[in-house]
A and B are shown apart, each in its own frame.
Chain A
């Protein structure tokens, strides 16, 4: 996900062997054909379609700015954007600290931690639809969790109450995706040179001090990678919310991609849905760039000085 690396280095001397290195370009043709046909052209197409009337079946006709006007004046657009932002912020606030701590935990080489790690990663194996159905059953007010544990607070209409439903969505999203980010952090932690910790313990730093002065700063780029994937990923999560709540109750859990789907394939307004698609693409690109910028440009700078 580190954007600039693809064009970063050119092997010195490659060009000098012969002057025809550009002739390799034809090798990219098959990949380009697919990518252009099913990603780049559709990306342009979504802009074009945002200025068209189309019900998904009939003729496409020019609409001018009417789609944009109606989508931008629809309170649900702002509402779904706000819901998306809320879901991103809350789920990051939950996922980042837990992923970091569990990443450090599972990076340890104690045997019980190795065994626990194997189980921690099981949610990754389930599709979003499976996870959604699991929690739909589990949160059933009569036959789920609350039927087993006689605590009054658990007897809620979890998916029927707008405030609770959003909390449930964030919880389930976190449940599903934390394992992946734990893996990312685990990989990061295992690359921190052991000598840093040895030096710190000679200086008398305890485990907590070592965590905050070595582990956390050393994980800066892991943090950027993980958070970028988390934010951009949350923007595309559609399936889990679709199966879990369908966007309801009311529109309490309608995030932007879900709203786009409903507008296009339920309300049969492909033009309006394309407007939402453009907003989604711009929003996602903006967020990805923002995080990269906040994280600092010089990703290649060594974190290991003095190690």
Chain B
């Protein structure tokens, strides 16, 4: 009973905050609600025994990505944003598309059957600690994708500098 209540709290708050994020007029308010949303999602990850993912959710999403969003919002100085309308003219079409896709996905989820379970049971993770168990899989089986991820980050660093810099006058 108590886990279901806990999940219910998180589900209601996450849905409510998501709706708040996409409907606020002021982008700064959206960023602040998103900060609260990321902390709630991190709490949900803790509830699912994924401590390391919860930690990097808070550090990378709430600490890095949202600060980047906040910087850009403050840089653009959007005084007139508060007076203009928020949605494009054809927003009912977007609502129909999203609601239709949601109906399809929820109906598909009903017929879901689980695959056989793997070896990483809760007892195994409790003995090995979560970060160690995750690191062992990441650095053996997924070493090559891990190296590619570092390359993607390098491309992002260089690309962001090249795109955002002003043109040099010679």
The answer to whether A and B assemble together is no
Which residues in A have some Cβ–Cβ distance to B below 8 Å? none
Which residues in B have some Cβ–Cβ distance to A below 8 Å? none
